[in-house]
Amino acid sequence: MENLVKKFTSSSLALPLVALVILLLFNAFFVNDFFKIEVMDNGNLYGRPIDILYRASSLIILALGMTFVIATGGIDISVGAVVAISSATCCVMLGGDISGVPHHPFFIAIIASLCVGVLAGIWNGTLVAKFKIQAMVATLILMTAGRGIAQLMTDGQIITVYYKPFAYIGGNIPGIALPTAMIIALLMICLVLFLDKKTSIGLMIQSVGINANAARYAGIKVTAVLFAVYIFSGFCAGTAGLIEGSLIRAADANNAGLNMEMDAILAVTLGGTLMVGGRYYIGGTIIGAITIQTLTTTMYAIGVSSDRLPAVKAVVILMIIVFQSEKFKEMYRNYKLKHQNNGGSKEASNA
Amino acid sequence: MHSKFFSNLVASQNFPFYVTGALFLILFGIGSVMFDSFFSLQVFLNLFIDNAPLIIVTVGITFTILSGFGGIDLSVGAVVSLSCMTLAVLMRDTSISPYVCMAIVLLIGIVVGLVNGLLITYFRLQPFIVTLGTMFLCRGFTAILSRDSVPISNDAYSELAFYSFEFGEYFLSLGSVIALSMVVIATLILRYTSFGRGVYAIGGNEQSARLMGLKTDSIRVRVYIISGFCAALGGICYSWIMLSGYTLHGLGMEMDAIASSVIGGTQLMGGVGFMPGTLLGVMIQGTILTIISFQGTLSAWWTKIVVGLLLCLFIVMQALVNSHKNKLMNQIAEGSVKADKK
């Protein structure tokens, strides 16, 4: 038992999990019916836990792509803007006819949005992998220009889509109880876990993140790995863009995916992946994303307004990253050692 | 001979600055050719007047970028917003003199910078994440102070806001004069003080800077304090333009500042950068905005696209210049080896 506890506290998942559990406990005591899940008349599930997972879906998808990027030692701050471009693409392809007749078939619009995401990934990948530009600077270009491009596509208007099936992505497909976004997120998680566990891609990404030169000498195609990672991040952003656009059934170039890149990076960091690259934790990232969404939902539930929310979020995040830091762990160890020495007990001599 | 001159020019330390300067002249030239009334001193001076807050904020953020270790300060936009709101609320609810209010605001900026700096140096945390945290914190605090827009209606303060230095038919606002003097002071600090040289040193290579006996942590904390102070000062200038406090003031300003800094020739790896270049970086963005507003039918999103393109241009140029420098260094090294053999 003691071993198990020790194993758990030393694992990287411990801290994000503990934070999530504390949040959930807080909810259990202070928010009425937090864990209640109802079945609605139309067969859909409804309740706060479902709501959290549902709202966290697009964040999870973005964070998955971001995990790989950060694992290679890079960063992709353009994903929020890519979300805006992708949702704008889909809405422009479908068109804003009030009759609900789409200009192009739905699946073509979906494929176009995903392609736009991949295209953005190719752009970022080219700059980072081919031109060897620092990832943050390289993705800053698309972050600055991206919203401009999205506005150019929608002509500065908010295009509202009246085509019914478009709402299925962000809502429910009739007859299926779980929100579609959750299902998409689950599929993406499965895909990522498959890539991570069953192929050597995960190992390659890690070795590029730890030491790109050494990886190259070991025969890993560093350029190709970097390229793939940014394309995947772009693809994730494209998918999240579809969900975000469908949620409001419109293309809002200014606000779609606003600050989502920051939330995605936070989710990855909360999950224990270091910004310098190297080891990464898919599970941690998912828990991190859910923690952020739980925090948001909790704050809404107890009546904190959306614009005051960042203050609470910031305090929680700063606390968690300080607890995660090596320096803090060292301080904790020193404190424990001192304590044991002062007691002069048997434990100290055993240790 | 010609190619050698060009090669040396590209390798020279100030090459990005020359390019930025040339680009600014070209952009201003395009504007002057396109519009009759564009080519006037006042249009030029308006660049400083309109962009005074951004100039000051960019000066601060350039310090953090120069200091290396992934140095960046994302909290500046939020500090600008918090400063405006604090000023507005203090002047609405209390009868404290505006000057004391401004001192309080500057103190807030310094405290935010100190918190950033201590978290980054003491716990060895990534500047990106830490300043992201303080950015959320400051935005949240702004909303806690007031969710609605709060107007500033203090007479003495408005007088400051409208104070202008007139010479002939032209004028500069107080904010722009402060912004320009900040650029001059920052340039002098970076060039002629041991602290300034230290900033470049820890940005270039922290390990060797420490081995040289520099107190790297103390320098880094001071860098973030400067950035916080500049953000608060930028906030005061912003409130002179807006005369109100609002949660959405200065939204995305940090990215504008980083973009200006990069266009101005600062390298995000740290250790390379020239302060007057960043001033030009801000002015290039300002010129694009001015051209678009003169044109009248173009929409504001073109600014974002053009700035993105310029960023791309500069970043690719920096990459090429760096590889050229490396090649030159290798040539010199090879040359010395050959000389030794002889």
Residue A187 lies in a domain: yes
Domain of A70, CATH number, reads 1.10.3470
pLDDT exceeds 90 at position A99? no
Range of the domain at A299: 12-303
d(C-alpha A112, C-alpha A85), whole Å:
11
Look at B130 and A132 and tell me if their CB atoms are within 8 Å. Answer: no
What's the average model confidence in pLDDT over A37-56? 80
d(C-alpha A317, C-alpha A23), whole Å:
13
A residues 7-46 closer than 8 Å to B (CB): none
Q: Is B255 on the interface with A (CB under 8 A)?
A: yes
Q: Is A312 on the interface with B (CB under 8 A)?
A: yes
Listed range (A112-121, B246-255, B323-332) with the worst mean pLDDT: B323-332
Q: Is A160 on the interface with B (CB under 8 A)?
A: no
Chain A: closest CA distance from residue B135 (Å): 8
Chain B: closest CA distance from residue A344 (Å): 30
What's the average model confidence in pLDDT over B288-304? 81
What's the average model confidence in pLDDT over B145-172? 88
Residue A332 lies in a domain: no
**Which pTM value belongs to this model?**
0.86
Q: How many CB atoms lie within 10 A of CB B98?
A: 20
Q: Does domain B2-341 have CATH number 1.10.3470?
A: yes
pLDDT averaged over every residue in chain A: 86
Look at A140 and B311 and tell me if their CB atoms are within 8 Å. Answer: yes
**C-alpha distances out from residue A213 to A76, A222, B326, B327, Å:** 21, 8, 17, 19
What's the average model confidence in pLDDT over B222-245? 95
CA A79, A81, A84, A86 dihedral sign is: negative
Amino acid B281: pLDDT:
92
Q: Is A319 on the interface with B (CB under 8 A)?
A: no
d(C-alpha B241, C-alpha B153), whole Å:
13
Give the total number of structural domains in chain A: 1
Indicate which of B301, B306, B313, B326 best probes the interface with A, i.e. most A CBs within 10 Å of its own CB. B301
Listed range (A208-222, B129-143, B156-170, B227-241) with the worst mean pLDDT: B156-170
Residue A310 lies in a domain: no
Q: What is the pLDDT confidence band of residue A162, given thresholds at 50, 70 and 90?
A: confident
CA-based nearest residue in chain B for residue A274: B126
Q: Is B305 on the interface with A (CB under 8 A)?
A: yes
d(C-alpha A136, C-alpha B311), whole Å:
12
Amino acid A274: pLDDT:
83
Amino acid A313: pLDDT:
84
Residue A345 lies in a domain: no
Amino acid A156: pLDDT:
82
Chain A: closest CA distance from residue B138 (Å): 7
The 3-class secondary structure across B50-106, one letter per residue, is HHHHHHHHHHHHHHHHHCCCCCCCCCHHHHHHHHHHHHHHHHHHCCCCHHHHHHHHH
Amino acid A9: pLDDT:
67
pLDDT exceeds 50 at position B63? yes
Q: Is A192 on the interface with B (CB under 8 A)?
A: no
The 3-class secondary structure across A56-82, one letter per residue, is HHHHHHHHHHHHHHHHCCCCCCCHHHH
Indicate which of B126, B206, B262 best probes the interface with A, i.e. most A CBs within 10 Å of its own CB. B126
Structural contact between residues A19 and A323, judged by C-beta atoms closer than 8 angstroms: no
**C-alpha distances out from residue A182 to A52, A187, A189, A247, A343, Å:** 10, 9, 10, 13, 52
Residue A98 lies in a domain: yes
pLDDT exceeds 70 at position B342? no
Indicate which of B137, B297, B302, B318 best probes the interface with A, i.e. most A CBs within 10 Å of its own CB. B137
Domain ranges of chain B: 2-341
State the ipTM, two decimals.
Answer: 0.81
Q: Is A257 left (phi over 0), alpha (psi -120 to 50) or beta?
A: left
The model's pLDDT over B283-294, given as tens digits with 9 standing for 90+, comes to 998 998 888 888
pLDDT exceeds 70 at position A351? no
Look at A328 and B134 and tell me if their CB atoms are within 8 Å. Answer: no
Amino acid B280: pLDDT:
93
A325 three-class SS: coil
A residues 90-119 closer than 8 Å to B (CB): none
Amino acid B2: pLDDT:
64
Q: Is B130 on the interface with A (CB under 8 A)?
A: yes
Q: How many Cβ pairs within 8 Å bridge chains A and B?
A: 134
Amino acid A343: pLDDT:
61
Q: Up-side HSE of residue B273: CA atoms within 13 Å toward CB?
A: 38
pLDDT exceeds 50 at position B231? yes
Amino acid A349: pLDDT:
47
Task: Supply the DSSP symbol for A1.
Answer: -
pLDDT exceeds 80 at position A220? yes
What's the average model confidence in pLDDT over A169-176? 81
CA-based nearest residue in chain B for residue A329: B123
- Using a pLDDT cut of 70, give the percent of chain A over it: 95
Look at A137 and B268 and tell me if their CB atoms are within 8 Å. Answer: yes
Structural contact between residues A233 and A70, judged by C-beta atoms closer than 8 angstroms: no
Look at B133 and A140 and tell me if their CB atoms are within 8 Å. Answer: no
